[in-house]
C-alpha cells in the first residue's frame, strides 16, 4: 500500500490535536516545522526519509538566517530552534512506526547539543524592593501589588495568571489553574497574597469576570468584551515597577517564576515537588534549577566532609 507524506502529516496533526490533546498552538508549530521539512526535501513517501535526507536537511537548517542581526550580520538559527524541527520530525516518525509504516527509526535522529540554559534571577533585596514598588492605596497600585504577590506565591506562567477568574476562593490557600496542554494543577497562595488580593477586589466597582483587569478608559462594545489584562500588558507592568525599584537587569513575569522555584529549592524543597508546582511535564525542564541544589551540596561537602582532628 502506497502512503503519501502530505496526507500522513495531516493525519498526524489531527492525532496530536484529538488523541494527544495538544493545544492548537502546538499543533500549528508542528505543522510549520514539518511543512518546512517536506517543502525542502520534496519527499512524497515515508520510506524515502533516510539518514542522508535528514543529514542534508540539518545542514540546510543550520545555514538558515534567523532574521536577527548581530554586529551588522544576520544570525543563523540557534541550535535550540533547530531542535524544534527535529523534535517534530521524530514525533512524526514515531507516529508512522506505530502504524507499521516503513520509515526512518526515530532513534536515528539525535538532537543538536545546546549549552546549559542560563537563569535570569533577581536577588532577595531586589525582589523585596520590587514587591513593595506599588505602594499606593488606589485601585491600580492594589491591582499591581496583587499581581506581583500572586506571581511570587504561585510561580504561575504569565498566561496562566492572565486567565484567572475573579471568583477564586480566597477562604482556601490553594487554587486550580489550567496550564500547558490543558493540564490542571494546584498552586498555593501565601496568607499575604490572599490579603492583598482581597484588598484589591474590595476596591473594584466593575462586574468583569477577570481577576486582573485593565483600568484604562475604554468603550465596551458588547457583553462578550472583557477588561481582562493580556499577558503582554502584565509584562509591561512588571517592567515599569522593576525600573521604579531601581533594578537594572531585565525583569519579566518569567524571572519571578524562576525566583519562586529557586526560593523553594534554597529552602529545602525537592526537585520533583518544584516540578509539580511549576507544571513542568518533564523533570528535565526543572533541572535548569540544579545549580541551586549543587550549591547546597557544596555547602554540605564543605561542612561535613573530612573533618579530621
pLDDT value for 307: 60
254 carries an active-site annotation: yes
Please report the sign of the dihedral spanned by the C-alpha atoms of residue 256, residue 258, residue 261, residue 265: negative
Domain extents in the chain: 5-108, 124-218+225-301
- 150 close to 134: Cβ distance less than 8 angstroms: no
**Cell triple for residue 145?**
501589588
Looking at residue 296, its pLDDT comes to 64
pLDDT in tens, 99-143: 999 999 999 999 888 765 667 788 899 999 999 999 999 999 999
22, 228, 257, 258: the catalytic one is 257
31 strand-pairing partners: none
Q: Which is more confident, 75 or 36?
A: 36
Q: Among this protein's residues, is 157 annotated catalytic?
A: yes
Catalytic residue among 36, 129, 254, 291: 254
Annotated catalytic residue, options 22, 194, 228, 280: 280
Q: What is the mean pLDDT of the chain?
A: 88
**264-to-177, 269, 291 alpha-carbon distances in Å:** 20, 5, 13
Residues 6+ positions from 304 with CB-CB distance below 8 Å: none
**Known catalytic membership, residue 3:** no
Task: List the grid coordinates of 87.
Answer: 523534535
Lowest mean pLDDT among 4-8, 109-113, 217-221: 217-221
DSSP, res 185: E
Rounded to an integer, the average pLDDT of 268-293 is 83
CB 90 within 8 A of CB 58: no
Let me know if domain 124-218+225-301 sits in CATH 3.10.450.50.
no
- For domain 5-108, which architecture applies? Orthogonal Bundle (1.10)
pLDDT at site 78: 87
Among residues 9, 157, 194, 258, the one annotated as catalytic is: 157
Residue 122 to residue 234: CA distance in whole angstroms: 18
The string of pLDDT tens digits covering residues 231-262 is 999 999 999 999 999 999 899 999 999 999 98
* 174-184 residue pLDDT tens: 999 988 877 88
Q: Which residues touch 148 (CB under 8 Å, ≥6 apart)? A: 130, 131, 133, 134, 238, 241, 256
Residues 234, 162 contacting (CB under 8 angstroms): yes
Query: Percentage of the chain with pLDDT > 90?
Result: 62
Using pLDDT thresholds of 50, 70 and 90, give the confidence band for residue 295.
Answer: low
Q: Of residues 180, 204, 240, 291, which has the active-site annotation? A: 180
Q: What is the pLDDT of residues 55-98, one digit of tens each?
A: 999 999 999 887 766 566 778 888 889 999 999 999 999 999 99
Confirm whether 20 is a catalytic residue: no
Tell me the average pLDDT across 298-302.
Answer: 67
Amino acid at each position: 500500500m502506497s502512503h503519501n507524506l502530505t496526507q500522513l502529516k495531516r493525519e498526524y496533526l489531527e492525532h496530536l490535536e484529538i488523541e494527544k490533546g495538544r493545544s492548537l498552538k502546538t499543533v500549528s508549530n508542528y505543522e510549520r516545522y514539518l511543512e518546512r521539512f517536506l517543502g525542502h526535501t520534496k519527499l512524497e513517501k515515508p520510506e524515502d526519509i533516510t539518514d542522508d535526507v535528514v543529514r542534508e536537511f540539518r545542514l540546510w537548517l543550520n545555514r538558515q538566517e534567523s532574521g536577527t542581526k548581530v554586529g551588522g550580520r544576520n544570525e543563523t538559527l540557534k541550535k535550540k530552534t533547530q531542535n524544534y524541527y527535529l523534535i517534530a520530525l521524530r514525533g512524526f516518525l514515531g507516529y508512522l512506526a506505530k502504524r507499521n509504516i516503513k520509515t526512518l527509526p526515530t532513534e536515528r535522529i539525535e538532537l543538536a547539543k545546546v549549552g546549559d540554559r542560563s537563569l535570569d534571577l533577581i536577588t532577595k533585596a531586589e525582589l523585596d524592593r520590587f514587591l513593595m514598588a506599588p505602594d499606593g492605596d488606589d485601585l491600580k497600585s492594589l491591582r499591581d501589588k496583587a499581581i506581583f504577590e500572586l506571581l511570587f506565591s504561585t510561580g504561575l506562567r504569565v498566561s496562566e495568571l492572565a486567565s484567572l477568574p475573579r471568583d477564586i476562593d480566597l477562604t482556601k490557600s490553594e487554587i486550580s489553574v489550567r496550564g500547558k496542554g490543558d493540564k490542571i494543577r494546584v498552586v498555593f497562595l501565601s496568607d499575604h497574597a490572599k490579603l492583598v488580593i482581597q484588598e484589591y477586589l474590595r476596591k473594584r466597582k466593575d462586574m468583569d469576570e477577570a481577576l486582573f483587569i485593565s483600568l484604562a478608559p475604554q468603550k465596551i462594545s458588547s457583553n462578550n468584551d472583557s477588561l481582562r489584562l493580556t499577558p503582554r500588558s502584565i509584562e509591561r507592568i512588571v517592567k515599569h515597577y522593576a525600573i521604579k525599584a531601581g533594578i537594572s537587569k531585565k525583569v519579566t513575569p518569567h524571572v519571578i517564576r524562576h525566583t519562586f522555584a529557586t526560593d523553594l529549592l534554597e529552602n529545602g524543597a525537592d526537585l520533583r515537588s518544584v516540578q509539580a508546582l511549576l507544571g513542568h511535564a518533564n523533570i528535565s525542564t526543572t533541572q535548569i534549577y540544579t545549580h541551586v541544589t549543587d550549591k547546597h551540596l557544596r555547602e554540605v561537602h564543605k561542612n561535613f566532609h573530612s573533618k579530621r582532628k
